[in-house]
Structure 1
């Protein structure tokens, strides 16, 4: 592609929404599959964090090991603008192929990475996967949402729930197959799943907006949304929230090991968080269509912080820790799924991909630094250090909820209106 070449102008007006048609829901199903093997795989990093610190990368600090997962998420957010605007101009099929190729090569690369060579894991699992995965995630969301108007938040919730279901199934699969066929072959099995799911997504997904011409390299980064104070406030809230959002996903299993070493439930905490998040994303999307996305976002985000500062901070028994995992997964799932629908609502229809991509760039700040900060706090894994990381997480989530309330008031000061 010649970035400076002017292409022929095409009609960039969206077609009529095809809500509740077979074509629309098949596209949602395809996007669901993409989220399963993209975000679902990244949401499973809590399993890899625990495995690496006990096996292949035991000589490295938890903070450094967690940076592999942060690289995945952070690079996904950074490359998001490029993937988003390329979707606005080019076929989803080619972008899905890039994401599938990157995911497959990444998993195969991890399977051949040598123990105690953390740079090999960072390059294959962190950098390669993180750079290519947005060509799936930043396509899956807009291609599905463009089919819907009234039920857009529900459709986005269904798509986003794919990441939760992947975050449930993949850790359980690893817990079962790694002891039987080994870690390396488990990653090769994952590559086959990625191939199958992306292949199905390519077959059943259909765009609903005509392609828009890509005039120059400047169109790759559409930061025009930052001229809107609502967009800016949402972006700031997302950054602050991402400082703490993924900390329980990475560190809840090590936390229960401190209080209850060898507890059988420990390996199921991550699937519990992701399983609860599955219901949170679907129910949250349904409710958001009726009461408004921001009306749901700010109280549930604040509640996520309060849960950390109360239940998790005081939890020492297995039952209380499990309860926190389920409640936090449900509330945080709403934040992850509904935020995109709010950004889409305040974005031009023909710039959704690029605006979501620009939004994700700012999110990378929190993602890159959040979990490594958590790892630095729990360097020695003491009870006191875990209390500090809990306070850190709860404060970030509560502050993000307050910023979302500000964004809601900027949209309409009447909190009873649907927004």
Structure 2
């Protein structure tokens, strides 16, 4: 039988509170049933009495919610679907029981008085359940789930088939947030991954008396500050909202660039470009990854992939711009021009990054403190360990591909374009895998990306001409870009919407240590083992990250072929 025609049914013993004294004779069980043609909806049928007053129905069904949860788990296991795909519909009452993150998280148990006790995010009780839920509801695919009105003495009718059309998530507000997020990543991550241009320029001019490892500390320390400060920034994001953080971070970034333009000594570069710039990027980098999953559910991978293309575009433009600016202007004015280029983009982001507005007439819930328990989620920590290994080697080619090309006595003018090629191909590596992640699962795509990136990285030194280095840079840019593009979807799969800010901050805090030590280690290996040791170190780190991701993926779903 085709899977779209499969139907199912599950009976639940009826348990009633002792204070029910009126109404029709209670049934001995409830029956949940459904059909995969209506993907996210199942019906809860009253098997005996079709004429149920709501007072009786509410008193009788709420205590059964814990049994209902087990029924949903059973149906999910039979159909190989997640339990949070189901919306529970009670046709006899013409009302939908709340759905979002799964029945267990909303109705964990029932007390003898007939009140459903949730986990703190949603609470329902018999007097208020009917008041809070609308007569018609929408499932998570955007289609209407409408119950049948019950006349006195009539029989409940099955709900009509769900509409095939779905409402687009790309609303004007969502698109504005998407544009603002792209501007942020263009100015923050896009500029950070262009540090390879600064690395080569410093080694030949302003900091020629310093070793490659010492110069790499400036860029790696900026990455460390960017990621490590994301933990407190994530807390502030959940507490204050993303808009104020973007505005504060924008001011800090511009201030850091103007200070960098005045630097002469190593410690000055370290403070301005390493610490202050990294701090500004930390304030603006996290809000897009915390706000966009609240606008996009079905298209989350695509949205986050499109957002990270801002970093890819920046990674193409900034190296070329810096190369030409350094050739025609002084170092100070070159950096100041970059600041003026960022100014309008950061202004756009400051006014477009806004949290979703509540529906008209909705009661605004009281602001709660961020849930710090998210930092103890085992699967989130495992994902953090995998990303730690990935980030240990991820940016090594970005830092050293220019100097590698020059070391082969190839055309220096073309060497600066290798980084632009790498970052340009990562644009496609962030969008296409994001689309695949929505279809096949974020963890599956992430595993493939980390593994292929590791293999490609270990082949680095086999490219010894301008053409071959360009091809290698394009391939590595595509495979490594997927890691950055899909990591947000992996995190969102483990978190509730109100936990996104702090959860992503926890992950960034973990991999910030890798960003701090990865490039200086690479610089030390370069001095002793040359570029072969560099490529093997970065490649093996990515492979180790892939292994940890495989462990996490099969811990979530042990089936070989499954969307995870």
**Matches of 2:273 and 2:347, distance apart in 1:** 21
Partners in 2 of 1:209 and 1:401 — Cα distance?
Answer: 38
Residue 23 (structure 1) aligned with residue 173 (structure 2): yes
Output the CA distance in 1 between the equivalents of 2:407 and 2:121. Answer: 56
Work out whether residues 246 and 350 of structure 2, in 8 Å CA contact, stay in contact via their aligned partners in 1: yes
The alignment covers a number of residue pairs equal to 397
TM-score, length-scaled by structure 1: 0.90
- 1:316 corresponds in structure 2 to 464
1:227 Cα deviation from its structure 2 partner? 3.0
Give 1:144 shift. Answer: 2.0
* 2:432 maps to 1:293: no
Q: Please give the per-residue CA displacement for 1:117-143, whole angstroms capped at 9, x wherever unaligned.
A: 100001000000112212111112222
Task: Kindly indicate whether the alpha-carbon contact (under 8 Å) linking 2:386 and 2:545 is maintained by their aligned counterparts in 1.
Answer: yes
Of 348, 357, 364, the match for 2:512: 364
Match of 1:404 among 536, 543, 549: 549
Higher relative CO (CA 8 A, sep ≥ 6), structure 1 or 2? 1
* 1:77 maps onto 2:227 in alignment: yes
- The equivalent residue for 1:171 is 319
Q: Which moves more between the two structures, 46-55 or 184-193?
A: 184-193
Kept after mapping to 2: 8 A contact 1:313/1:391: no
Pairs within 5 Å for 1:228-267? 228=378, 230-267=379-416
The alpha carbon displacement at 1:357 in A equals: 0.2
Checking the alignment, whether the CA contact within 8 Å between 1:241 and 1:397 is kept in structure 2 is yes
Secondary structure at the counterpart of residue 378 of structure 1: helix
Distance in 2 between residues matched to 1:417 and 1:226, nearest whole Å: 26
| Aligned mate of 2:288, from 133, 140, 158 | 140
| 1:12–1:212 contact (8 Å) kept in structure 2 | no
Match of residue 8 from structure 1: none
> Unaligned 5+ residue runs, structure 1?
1-10
Quote the Cα distance in structure 2 between the aligned partners of 1:159 and 1:317.
33
Q: Give the structure-2-normalised TM-score.
A: 0.68
Separation of aligned partners in 1, 2:318 and 2:251 = 19
8 Å contact kept, 1:223–1:355: no
The structure-2 alpha-carbon separation of the partners of 1:88 and 1:209, relative to structure 1 and needing over 3 Å to count, comes to farther
Q: Deviations over 1:76-118 (max 9, x none)?
A: 111101111211121433211211111111100110001xx10
| Unaligned stretches of 5+ residues in structure 2 | 1-119, 123-139, 143-167, 359-364
Alignment of structure 1 residues 110-125 onto 2, 5 Å: 110-114=260-264, 117-125=265-273
RMSD: 2.0
1:163-203 superposed Cα distances (whole Å, 9 cap, x missing partner):
11111111111112222222211211121222211111122
CA distance in structure 2 between the aligned counterparts of 1:58 and 1:12, rounded to whole angstroms: 57
Distance 2:278 2:382 in 1: 26
Superposition deviation, residue 272 in structure 1: 0.7
For residues 172 and 185 of structure 1, what CA distance do their matches in structure 2 show? 16
1:213 matches 2:358: no
Runs ≥4 residues deviating over 4 A: 209-212
TM-fit CA distance, 1:231: 1.6
User: Is 1:90 aligned to residue 240 of structure 2?
Assistant: yes
1:277 aligns with 2:426: yes
Corresponding residue number in structure 1 for 2:478: 330
Residues 1:407 and 1:318: Cα distance change in structure 2 (over 3 Å) = same
Match of 1:107 among 244, 250, 257: 257
Q: Distance in 2 between matches of 1:73 and 1:209?
A: 33
Residue in structure 2 matched with residue 46 of structure 1 by the alignment? 196
Deviates more, 1:185-194 or 1:366-375: 185-194
Q: Name the CA distance, whole Å, in 1 between partners of 2:545 and 2:314.
A: 26
2:538 maps to 393
Query: Take 1:12 and 1:173, find their aligned partners in 2: how far apart are those partners?
Result: 49
Aligned positions of 1:186-197 closer than 5 A: 186-197=334-345
Work out whether residues 374 and 502 of structure 2, in 8 Å CA contact, stay in contact via their aligned partners in 1: no
Please identify, of 17-26 and 55-64, the stretch whose mean Cα deviation from structure 2 is larger: 17-26
Of the candidates 181, 185, 195, which is equivalent to residue 333 of structure 2? 185
In the alignment, the residues of structure 2 paired with residue 328 and residue 300 of structure 1 have an alpha-carbon distance, to the nearest angstrom, of 10
- Structure with more helix by fraction: 1
Contact 1:222 1:358 in 2 (8 A): no
Q: Is the 8 A contact 1:212 1:350 kept in 2?
A: no
The residue number in structure 2 matching 1:202 is 350
- Change in Cα spacing, 1:179 to 1:214, as seen in structure 2 (3 Å) is farther
Find the counterpart in structure 2 of residue 374 from structure 1. 522
Secondary structure of 1:379's match? helix
Question: Contact conserved, 1:100 with 1:194, CA < 8 A, in 2?
Answer: no
